[in-house]
Amino acid sequence: MGTTALITGITGQDGSYLAELLLSKGYTVHGLVRRSSSQSTPRIDHLVQDPHVEDGRLFLHSGDLNDGSRLAMLLERLQPDEIYHLAAQSDVRVSFDEPEYTGAVTGLGTTRILEAMRISGLPARFYQASSSEMFGAAPPPQSEETPFRPSSPYAAAKVYSYWMTRNYREAYGLYAVNGIMFNHESPRRGEAFVTRKIARAASRIARGEQAILRLGNLEARRDWGYAPEYVEAMWRMLQRAKPDDYVVATGTSYSVRDFVSFCFERVGLDWERHVRFDEQYMRPSDVPDLVGDASKAKLELAWEPTVFAPELAQIMTDAELEDPAAVTVR
Ligand code: NAP
Ligand code: F7E
């Protein structure tokens, strides 16, 4: 029997790339999908086979992070060797509008899975999708040793999940790790996140389908990497003999303004003629500058990024230009 993995958040950006990676390694992959009135699987439709075909290795199960008994039942039934917990309310701006919901899903959702593991005695390895947002106002560069100073309900919920993951490792001996991932993007990035919003707008403006791009804080700096490379780091973390926590980042930082100029340059336009400031995209508090120090991941996981923000902007803009309708399935 090969290795079996459960991915929560399989319909999201990272879940889709991770499912591809694990299937390519011969895994059997189970994915948690929450109920929706419309299809939420466009990022993984190319992986889903007819359920009647016997040699399929990808299986989808309905379930929600708010439903602990369903999560416990699925763990009991599927007996995964590895659990990649990627599901979350992941939009920082939305977390200011919906702080209680964000805490219930992004925070308590993690505890529900860890507790189901503890009670059942399931010997699975657990990956928690921790975030550079947890560093918040802490000055760069940020490493595993940097104290957290969360600046949003999302970040506070992720800090809670980070410590619950560590607590279950230290108190109960679970194999549970935190990947502290800095921003990572791709053509599959959700359309509300700033990189995708910019790449999409640059391509639409170049095609004459849009006139203006409205943005909030152009000065914020982020350490932007390429999502397919980051899911490789997640997998490597769970292959180590001992569980530990790792920062995953490029070590470079660019402003939102820089990313705008990269995308508009790609389509041959002067961004200053098309971008307008819009107050509605400002946050009650924003993280000013994130730059990760991923030395530990380099040393212990032999993981290194190869795609940096200028090339990432090109990849994302080109994908929008080629086939905007199909972009989320690339
Ligand atoms: P994403 O595209 O927003 O995907 C989030 C996933 O969570 C989706 O599959 C979503 O399902 C699912 N989900 C949300 N609420 C749920 C609920 N109540 N029950 C079950 N599933 C639920 O996020 P991503 O960019 O792939 O990120 C993956 C994880 O890494 C997240 O935890 C995120 O917070 C974290 N993270 C991301 C980054 C980054 O730069 N991308 C950096 C650090 C950490 P639907 O498809 O139905 O919405
Ligand atoms: O914002 C600024 C905004 O929403 C980046 C999530 O994956 O990464 C992501 O969180 C910056 C912020 O990502 C707009 O104020 C300006 O300073 O793309 P974002 P994020 O907040 O960094 C972390 C690591 C995660 O863990 C999260 O899950 O861009 N910004 N104007 C804007 N942002 C958006 N979304 N839209 C704008 O119009």
Tell me the best of 14, 130, 183 to mutate to test the pocket of ligand 1, counting ligand atoms within 8 Å of each CB and taking the most: 14
Give distance in angstroms: CA of 313 to centre of ligand 2: 15
Could you say which ligand is closest to the alpha carbon of residue 84? 1
In tens, the pLDDT along 132-189 reads 999 999 999 999 999 999 999 999 999 999 999 999 999 999 999 999 999 999 999 9
Name all domains of the chain by residue range, CATH numbers in brackets. 4-185+226-248 (3.40.50.720), 194-221+253-289+307-329 (3.90.25.10)
Can you tell me which atom of ligand 1 is nearest the CA of 130? 44
Tell me the best of 16, 34, 90, 165 to mutate to test the pocket of ligand 1, counting ligand atoms within 8 Å of each CB and taking the most: 90
d(C-alpha 45, C-alpha 80), whole Å: 22
Give distance in angstroms: CA of 52 to centre of ligand 2: 41
Please tell me the residue having the least CA distance from ligand 1 atom 35.
129
pTM: 0.97
What DSSP string runs through 15-42?
HHHHHHHHHHTT-EEEEEE---SS---T
CA atoms within 13 A on the CB side of 43: 22
Give distance in angstroms: CA of 208 to centre of ligand 1: 32
- Residue 269 in contact with ligand 2 by CB distance below 6 A: no
Give distance in angstroms: CA of 220 to centre of ligand 2: 9
Residue for token pair 């359309």: 191
**What type of residue is 327?**
V
- Residue 215 in contact with ligand 2 by CB distance below 6 A: yes
In tens, the pLDDT along 255-282 reads 999 999 999 999 999 999 999 999 999 9
Do 132 and 92 contact (CB within 8 A), yes or no? no
> Quick one: average pLDDT of 58-73?
98
